[in-house]
Amino acid sequence: MTKDSKIYVAGHNGLVGSAIWKNLKERGCHNLIGRSHKELDLTDQCAVKKFFDEERPDAVVLAAAFVGGIMANSLYRADFIMMNMKIQCNVISEAYAHGVEKLLFLGSTCIYPKNAPQPMKEDCLLTSELEYTNEEYAIAKIAGLKMCESYNLQYGTNYIAVMPTNLYGPNDNFHLENSHVMPAMMRKVYLAKLIADGDWEKIAIDLNKRPVEGVNGNADRGDILTVLAKYGIENNKVTLWGTGTPLREFLWSEDMADASVHILLNVNFSDIIGIEKYSSVHYGVSAEGAVDRNHSAGRGGAIPSLGEIRNCHINVGTGKELTIRELSEWVVKVVGFEGQVCFDTSKPDGTMRKLIDVDKLHRLGWTHKVEIEDGIQKLFDWYRSTLV
């Protein structure tokens, strides 16, 4: 790949996709392609084929996904597995059919077992049962990374899967019905502070930007307070789900983007499995050096000389963690909230700990830059910038 390579970023308007797009631009990659959901529905097989027929990208970053937090995962189980499987199958199959040189698939560390040894290494995948509350999303992402691995083994492609920890950053989702833990917590604390301050002008701006269950800033104040109370937002009081004891690792989205682009530009499947001449071993190679994809030496996924190859994905994170209660304390400090934060212990905690091992990532030449305390401030600054 070169800086002139045509790179398709699927999900380029999202949290990670937009950061990857920005990072590629900053590195001098100018030939980028992006399509909004309205322009291209990735669950539509015919539409995806038509897009690849017309654009023929050299590389693909698959950052598009149907995502949400613990509440959304519980409510929309069928959607989470079906939508994500459709997106992955359509994009990966068309990438192969159109000879895409490099593909980067973004998954999630929820792929790991509920009770996996901590920190979680890549090889603990599929060793025991998943966390029930996000099982469907996890299964879809496991299928995606196995697609990449299997295409590489059968066809000698160069598809790499990265598994980021919990992400946060610019363009994060702050909609209370389906957002992840940090943006949801931050918005709840912010709105509870505004209610206590009696700042209805800012409450109206916030709800006009991101309505809650169809209730916007023009609604009756009583209706606003009623709908916000459903999400644990009251006058100077916030109620969060669970006990506050689960440990979580968080990665700034622009750090994730930097890691992703580093891997896209500098890391090959052969680097991960430790075989320098993987393509030559795997493919049928002619005397002229031409690769014949139809007569692969490892056709069917069996490469006896390499033995079993599995768990080729890469964890991406910080290797550091904090409790949900500690996270809430940082958010409260940044927002300037002086009210009460309560935990509803009747609600699920989800997985109690999700710290990943990032040794493989470090060996491949990348480490994180933004620490959590700085990242929370940066996220709150970005959030407020959207409310002007």
Q: What is the pLDDT of residues 18-27, one digit of tens each?
A: 999 999 999 9
Average pLDDT, the chain: 90
63 and 190 inside one domain: no
Q: What is the CATH number of the domain that holds 54?
A: 3.40.50.720
**Predicted pLDDT of residue 301:** 46
Provide the 10 A C-beta neighbour count for residue 43. Answer: 17
Predicted TM-score (pTM) of the model is 0.85
Chain position carrying tokens 């949900």: 324
Domain that holds residue 21: 7-169+250-316
Q: Which residue among 8, 112, 137, 159 is the active-site one?
A: 137
Residue 183 C-alpha from the chain's centroid? 14
Number of residues that make up the chain: 388
Of 107, 171, 170, whose CA–CA distance to 142 is shortest?
Answer: 107
Are residues 89 and 44 in contact, defined by beta-carbon separation less than 8 angstroms? no
Question: Is residue 306's pLDDT more than 90?
Answer: no
Confidence of residue 303 (pLDDT cuts 50, 70, 90): low
**Which stretches within the chain are classed as H helix?**
15-26, 45-55, 70-75, 77-97, 135-155, 181-197, 200-209, 221-230, 253-266, 269-273, 278-282, 324-335, 359-363, 372-385
- Residue found under tokens 């958010």: 331
In terms of DSSP bridges, do strands 284-285 and 291-292 run parallel, antiparallel, or are they unpaired? antiparallel
In a domain, 76, yes or no: yes
Same domain, 376 and 307: no
Tell me, yes or no, whether 339 and 200 share the same domain: yes
Based on the fold, state whether residues 188 and 256 are members of the same structural domain: no
The answer to whether residue 130 scores a pLDDT higher than 50 is yes
pLDDT of 328 over the 70 cut: yes
Contact status, residue 294 vs residue 154, Cβ threshold 8 Å:
no
Average pLDDT over residues 179-190: 94
What does the pLDDT read at residue 283?
Answer: 41
**How many domains does the chain contain in total?**
2
Are 68 and 141 found together in one domain? Answer: yes
Q: What is the mean pLDDT of residues 13-33?
A: 95
96 is catalytic: no
CA distances in angstroms from 356 to 1, 243, 265, 297, 321, listed in the order given = 30, 22, 23, 35, 9
Same domain assignment for residues 273 and 163: yes
Q: Are residues 303 and 346 in the same domain?
A: no
Q: Given this model, what pLDDT does residue 275 score?
A: 54
Residue 97, judged by CB atoms within 10 A of its CB (0-12, 13-18, 19+), counts as exposed
Q: Is residue 115 part of a domain?
A: yes
pLDDT in tens, 43-66: 999 999 999 999 999 999 999 988
Q: Is the pLDDT of residue 286 over 60?
A: no
For residue 365, being part of any structural domain is answered with: no
Residue 304 has pLDDT above 80, yes or no: no
- Structural domain contains residue 307: yes
Between 2-6, 128-132, 178-182, 229-233, the lowest mean confidence (pLDDT) is in 178-182
CATH of the domain at 191: 3.90.25.10
- DSSP for 236-304 reads TEEEEES-S--EE-EEEHHHHHHHHHHHHHH--HHHHHT-TTHHHHHSEE-TT--EEGGG-TTTTS--G
Tell how far CA 88 is from the center of its chain. 14
Interstrand relation of 322-323 and 247-248 (parallel, antiparallel or unpaired): antiparallel
Does 304 lie in the same domain as 200? Answer: no
Q: Are residues 237 and 100 part of one domain?
A: no
Dig out the tokens for 238 from the structure. 């916030």
Cα separation of 44 and 60, whole Å? 17
User: 193 and 134, same structural domain?
Assistant: no
What pLDDT, on a 0 to 100 scale, did the predictor assign at position 71?
A: 66
Has residue 296 got a pLDDT over 60? no
Instruction: Say which residue the tokens 């212990």 belong to.
Output: 345
Least confident of 73-82, 127-136, 208-217, 311-320: 73-82
Cis omega (within 30 of 0) for bond into 119? yes
Which of 54-63, 145-154, 278-287 is the least confident region?
278-287
Neighbours of 75 (CB within 10 A): 12
Instruction: Decide if 148 is inside a domain.
Output: yes
